Chains A and B, each alone.
Chain A
């Protein structure tokens, strides 16, 4: 958790995440990649539910969305940089943690900005099939944990 209001402001401004918001911080040494993966699994489960609802309709447009439009959001090449940064942070020696943390912070900020700017995510979260999809909430909770981890003393 941020140890000062200044740090909290920095997190909100730079990373777009409020570390003071609900979400338990990971303990020292916790894997940030594992935190991301847990969020991704939760998001994928939501998308899977949406995909099933789409496919159950037997409509080719819905099928195309289910097949192409969903899981690329949590996978695909744009996520590669984020995952590399998460791995890099987990693997970093104590002396390299600060640099790895900075790189991870940038990657999180970039990925999160894309997520929040995406009209596609808007549309999926606002789907008319009645399936609950909350990608931003799901990932933001994980990012809060990650940011809290970054702010903890080594």
Chain B
């Protein structure tokens, strides 16, 4: 059980009858005092650790200065009480004036999409119109009563959004692909998230086709990610797609992502399209939309399904709190030259994909690496913070946009021959716009075109000496004759020494390869 997840569902958009509402109130009150419904202590995780023994003076100073976990534990204990966790948010406002219309909308929306004809869609549109009118009347009738006006606004905004979404459902050319697998309500939910039905595989990826589910694959107070194995053998990661993101990263808003309609899933799909165009689809996850029941609400959610990146993330924090860059090999035992060459090729190709996408979140937790013998797998995950409408330059002044610089700065100093050939032969309007236009806003598309064209210019400038056909055999121009690994590492890790002997961000680098592997390769004589 999780209070955070139930409490976050604020009231305001309920579609219930008066009888049902009365019943739910009675039941909630009964739950509060029911002797046979009790908190199950066994479900609580182990208590957090207490503070270590401290000198008495320190204990006194901490107590005097702060309210701490220990003090609250002494006062409250560990177990939440029902009456502490219920009723903290506003109860549903009375929707009496709108209920009839809401019920009509709900009844139609619950039908299977494939069972609906034009008349049903027209009836739904009419019902939404009537609901919009009722919500407006309700608002006007309760002018000055903040709660009621707010409730009316909630219903009005929701109904208007649903009406737009309904039109988008009918207009989607891939309607037939999904119609037998979802309800009209779910179809509307898709459209409210900017999802094109062409990107949905509800036929393959739904809970009926799942053979194993781990709903706690990733879980925290405000996050839930499932790992699902399907009948076709694929093991995918599912993340519910949000309509809006009210607490988006500063960098996301800085590059122009609309928190009211972030369409993060589409950004991941667009990233996959860029990597595919460059001939390197394997450096980011394969993605599509699917359905999965949220274990906490029981509701079937629409979400993004991703192939799971192989290996481990580059960065992690150990148990005592030290920030660590993961050691992918023991000191003195570097990977083979073949593996190092593949690492360079894949990481640099991901760099190229990232600059075209305007990726701003390639920190070490969003980069997974597996090195086994001569084989290497690089996967850039969580491609949400990219394709911002404000970012026209692929080089994006990465060190200046945010204090939390997550990407290596500068344009990649090398380019794989295959990536080069595809990029210079490519035409954004011809090769990418048809795919991306269904995923991005017109402004975001224009910014992507700008980054693409500037990236192409940079690639042309690298030809011929820095276009790498063979990552093991390539050498930099004389007199240095550096290997690709040594060349990238020499280009820098994104920091430079300042006049005081300290380090400050630089404006260029050898990309992810230099940032995340430069130190270890240099230590082991490979760069």
Is the CB–CB distance between B23 and A127 below 8 Å? yes
Q: Which of A5-53 contact B (CB under 8 A)?
A: 51-52
Complex Cα–Cα for A129 and B41 (A): 31
- Known contacts A56-B299, A60-B9, A62-B24: does B31 contact A69 (CB below 8 Å)? yes
The answer to whether A57 touches B31 (Cβ under 8 A) is no
- Contact A66:B24 (CB < 8 A) given known A57-B16, A76-B40, A78-B38: no
Total count of chain A residues near the partner, CB < 8 A: 35
Partner of B31, one of A63, A78, A120, A128: A120
Q: Is the CB of B37 within 8 A of A61?
A: no
Complex CA gap A115/B36 in Å reads 8
Secondary structure of the B side of the interface?
loop
Q: Is A75 an interface residue (CB 8 A)?
A: yes
Assembled-state Cα–Cα distance A77/B44 (Å): 14
Is residue A102 within 8 Å, beta carbon to beta carbon, of the partner chain?
no
**A48-86 vs B: 1/0 string, CB under 8 Å?**
000110111111111111111100110111110000000
Interface residue? B1 (CB, 8 A): yes
Interface size on B, residues (CB 8 A): 37
* Chain B nearest Cβ from A16, distance in angstroms: 16
Question: Do A58 and B30 touch (CB < 8 A)?
Answer: no
Q: A102-130 interface mask toward B, CB cutoff 8 Å, 1 = contact, 0 = none?
A: 00000000000011001110011001110
Please determine whether B16 and A59 come into contact, CB atoms closer than 8 angstroms: yes
Q: Name the CB-closest residue of A to B294.
A: A55
Q: Which residue of B lies closest to A77 (CB)?
A: B38
A120, chain B: closest CB distance, angstroms: 4
The residues of A that contact B34 with a CB separation of less than 8 Å are: 69, 72, 118, 120
Chain A residues with CB below 8 A from B297, complex form = 55, 63, 66-67
Q: Are A65 and B25 in contact (CB under 8 A)?
A: no
Are B28 and A76 within 8 A (Cβ)?
A: no
B336 CB to closest chain A CB, in angstroms?
A: 53
B332 within 8 A of A: no
Contact of A51 among B10, B19, B298 (CB under 8 A): B298
Determine if A64 and B36 form an interchain contact, defined as CB atoms under 8 angstroms apart. Answer: no
Residues of chain A within 8 A of B24, CB atoms compared: 59, 61-62, 65
- Judged by a CB distance under 8 angstroms, whether B491 is at the interface is no
Q: Determine if B519 is an interface residue (Cβ-Cβ < 8 Å).
A: no
13 contacting pairs across A/B (C-beta < 8 A): A57-B15, A58-B13, A60-B9, A60-B10, A60-B92, A65-B27, A66-B298, A69-B34, A114-B36, A119-B30, A120-B36, A128-B17, A128-B23
Known pairs A67-B6, A68-B1, A120-B27; list 9 more (Cβ under 8 Å). A60-B11, A63-B6, A63-B9, A64-B6, A64-B86, A67-B1, A69-B37, A76-B38, A129-B20
Nearest 5 CB-CB pairings of A with B: A55-B298, A72-B37, A59-B14, A120-B30, A61-B24
A contact set with B: CB distance below 8 Å: 51-52, 54-69, 72-73, 75-79, 114-115, 118-120, 123-124, 127-129
